[in-house]
A = this chain, B = another copy of it.
Amino acid sequence: MKQKNELLSKNQQVVFELIEKANEPLKAYSILSNVQKKGIKAPLQVYRALNKLMEIGKIHKIESKNAFVACTNNSCKISKASAFYICETCEDISEVNDSKLTKYLSSFKGNNDMKVNKYNLEFFGLCKNCRVR
């Protein structure tokens, strides 16, 4: 079975591996400085890789932080539905994986006539760790 990373180009792979290994969201210029030894020299090279990776759903952008994380939820590979928990204290971020929520939001109509085909949701709060202390 073909591994998915084979589908990625060289720069995309380099950027993706870094993001995947990180245990926190990474910012574009931090990514840049970490991949310069791998031959990526300019911001645009990073942004191009990031854009592609988002497009194919392998990473997501945390809009409120301008930072990027690897998708931990196969079901949003389509990159049409993403949701995150963000701890306001320790900045820890985790992706929500809740099929009910996905279903609810994907088919949400509300008061409006909009046909929704994508959404992004960010929950802010206190993670378990930060609550205990």
Contacts and interface: CB of A to CB of B under 8 A. Distances in A.
A103 interface: no
A110 B125 contact: no
Q: Quick one: copies of this chain in the complex?
A: 2
A111 B96 CA distance: 7
Interface string A95-118: 011100100110010111111111
Given A85-B112, A96-B111, A112-B85, A121 B118 contact: no
Interface of A, helix, strand, loop or mixed by DSSP? mixed
Interface size class of A (residues with CB under 8 A): 20 to 34
A94 B112 contact: yes
A129 to B, nearest CB: 9
A101 B108 contact: yes
